[in-house]
Amino acid sequence: MYVVINGGGKVASYLARTLLERGHAVALIEKRREIAEKLAAELPGDPLIILGDGCDSVYQEDAGVGRADVFVAATGDDDDNLVSCQLAKTAFGVPRTVSRVNNPKNERIFNALGIEGISSTTIISRMIEEEATIGDIRTLAALRKGNMAVVEIELPTDRCVVCDKAVAELKLPVDCILVALIRGEEIVTVHGDTTLKPGDVVIAFTRVEHEAILKKALTGE
């Protein structure tokens, strides 16, 4: 499968690495030179890195969008994501377009245009409203083909093995990313320097088979 990704941030680089490790061909379009150079140096395999604007047909053509099976827009700007997906669909006939949606209010616009919009905010809000819980770990969303899942794990309020530690210090399973924390009434976006607190509810993106390992790493159980 050939996948073209517009963007070079954390979401895009994680997706590219995962696809490359599974044997797929990947191209990335990134307009920031320093990020493009970092991607070229750090990603495994031999991905095609295009320095340019993914909303420009010239750079999409350079990336081979016309022969792509999937086009993914993963920038932090919904307007750029929408334009690049529409260009890929209309100008190059890509059969499937998928986009990160940063503002959940825009999700219906993407879907109405035939673009698969994915909003992490929507996933988290649905989880908060969900009543069914299995133990203290819940699968929130099983993704395509069931390989990956968004899960919720509540940290213990006493003898917490990861509390007061920065996320960057944690030894997490391969292919696992902490997405957000629910702390009381607040939703906290996770960064490397985010410190975990007792009672935090951790929202993570992980392989289904690594859920138990992740729970043990975060709770010690």
Instruction: For the chain, give every domain's residue range.
Output: 2-118, 124-219
In this chain, the answer to whether the domains covering 2-118 and 124-219 adopt an identical fold is no
pLDDT at residue 126, rounded to an integer = 54
Query: What's this model's pTM, rounded to 2 decimal places?
Result: 0.60
Residue 135 vs residues 98, 100, 205: alpha-carbon distances, Å: 33, 31, 18
Give the pLDDT confidence of 181-191 residue by residue, as tens digits.
Answer: 888 877 787 88
Summarize the confidence of residues 54-74 as an average pLDDT.
95
Q: Residue 184: which residues within 8 A CB-CB, separation 6 or more?
A: none
Tell me which DSSP letter residue 101 carries. -
Confidence bin at 123 (pLDDT 50/70/90): low
Distance between CA 25 and CA 69 in Å, rounded? 10
Q: What's the topology of domain 124-219?
A: Alpha-Beta Plaits (3.30.70)
pLDDT at residue 2, rounded to an integer = 94
Query: Which CATH code for domain 2-118?
Result: 3.40.50.720
* Chain centre to alpha carbon of residue 131: 25
> Which has more pLDDT, 177 or 2?
2
Confidence bin at 43 (pLDDT 50/70/90): very high
pLDDT at residue 56, rounded to an integer = 95
Residues 155 and 197: beta-carbon distance below 8 Å: yes
Confidence bin at 11 (pLDDT 50/70/90): confident
